[in-house]
Each structure stands twice: as C-alpha cells, then as structure tokens.
Amino acid sequence: MLSDETITQIAAELAEADRTHSVIPRITARYPEATVEDSYAIQGVWRDQNLAAGRRLVGRKIGLTSKAMQQATGITEPDYGVMFDDTVYESGAEIPVDHFSNVRIEVELAFVLKRALEGPDCTLEDALAAIDYAVPALEVLNSHIELEGRTIVDTISDNAAYGAMVLGTVHKRPDEIDLRWVPGVLSRNGEIEETGVAAGVLGHPATGVAWLANKFHQHGARLEAGEIILAGSFTRPMWVSRGDEVLCDYGPMGTIACRFV
C-alpha cells in the first residue's frame, strides 16, 4: 500500500498532466508495490479536488468490459471512473483535440438511472429495473500515463482514461429494444474502422451497471438516481487526430457525429 503522501503526490501529478495535456511515467514502474486499492485512492483524491473546485459529477464510466477492449489493452478486469458535467458533448459537436492526450474513440451505450441502485447482490434484472433509458454514446479516451506497459493500477489512477463523451439523441427504455443487439459501425472520415454489437459488453451492456453497483457497495456507496453510467466499449479504440470527422451508426438507435478541431 502506498502512503497517503505518495497518493496525494501522484494525484497532483495527474492533475498537472490534465492541465497541460501531457503524459507522466507509469505509476507501476515507479511504485511496483502499488495496488488496485491505491489506484482508486489516487483517483478519489483527484476527484475530490475537482469537486472542491466547482466541477459537478454527472455519472460514472465503466471500462474494459469487453474482450475487444481487454485484448487492446492487455488488462482483463473492468474498472471505473467519474464523469463531470463539463465533459459531456452533444452529437454534432466540435471537440478540441488539444484538450486531451492520446486521443481515441470508443463505441458504447450509456444508461440514465431513474432510481438508486445498491449492492451487494445487484443482478442484471435489478439494473434493468433501475434504468430509465439507454442512449448511444462515444467515449473520448484521455490518457495521462504512458501507454506502453501500463497495468490496471495505472489506468484506474488516471480516472480509467476517461476524457469526454458524446451523447446521441435516441433514448430507448430497456423494454423497448433488445439492448444486446444494438450495433455500432464506427467511421473516420467516411471510412469504416470498427464494428461491433453491444452484447460484446459482458453479454449484455447493462451487466456492467450491476457490477458497478456491487463494487460501490464494498465502499459503502451506491449509484444515485439521475446518474449517467457509461457501460464500456464494444469495439476497439480508434485513434483520432485534428480534422477527423467521426460518425457512428447505431442502427435503430440513430447516429452520433462529431469533429475534432
């Protein structure tokens, strides 16, 4: 376990990297003894400092929930981070590429909760009953730690590499559509780069919501009504650069477009 002083120091490094859009050396290269608990403690210090500075928490992201993402990162267990109000874009947005580091896009579904969800024995059925609606979402990854050789500890410490999300306009209740079969066809500058279906996320994209509720219970917390839960990508991440036009077709759930400037 890392000392409180070291945890605070690393959180400060990550905050500075976020401010300057830069990258720091791997935490696990410098502190090989660091644990998953340490990484969530680092993330928690960073989160609380942002809340104290006036940012508003709107939800949580879950990552590494599909085989595609696990194979892309070499990390085999899910993780989670926080999402603030100033990181949410609408479809059609122009997104400043300079606000992020190692900019990539993932194809996901997001869920908005109509009531609180609490473990320790939350099931998929419980999660579906607590969800108000699903909405297509693109996640913009933002990594402040060098990518080569990183572990789950590095990723969690860096707020699970979350940068921003772009939300679609089509909302569907869980009883209106079979969420497992929502497709994602991701294009960059008119060329298809990645495809997948939402069942690639733990067999059902809402399974991650139940997983997160149970994980939160271990820390004496719960998911609250109104929160947005970004459920994890069902495609590999796609690199983007300034000038790229991104389009994702979700079939019956519409499309999302954005441009990086």
Determine which helix (DSSP H) or strand (DSSP E) holds 51, and give its type and residue range: helix 36-52
CB contact set of 145 (below 8 Å; sequence gap of 6+): 14, 17, 23, 24, 25, 26, 27, 154, 155, 157, 158
Average pLDDT of the segment spanning 180-189: 98
Characterize 86-108 residue by residue with b for buried, 16 or more Cβ atoms within 10 angstroms of its Cβ, and e for exposed.
ebbbebebebebeebbbbbbbbb
The CA-to-CA distance between both ends of the chain, in Å, stands at 41
Place of tokens 């497992």: 180
Give the closest residue to 179 by CA, choosing from 131, 109, 119. Answer: 109
Q: What is the pLDDT of residues 210-250, one digit of tens each?
A: 999 998 998 889 999 999 999 999 999 999 999 999 999 99
Contact 244, 111 (CB under 8 A): no
Contact 117, 209 (CB under 8 A): yes
Domains and CATH numbers, the chain: 57-260 (3.90.850.10)
Burial of 36 (0-12, 13-18, 19+ CB in 10 A): middle
Q: What is the pLDDT of residues 35-80, one digit of tens each?
A: 999 999 999 999 999 999 999 999 999 987 767 767 767 776 788 9
Task: Note the pTM of the prediction, 2 decimals.
Answer: 0.94
Determine which helix (DSSP H) or strand (DSSP E) holds 259, and give its type and residue range: strand 255-260
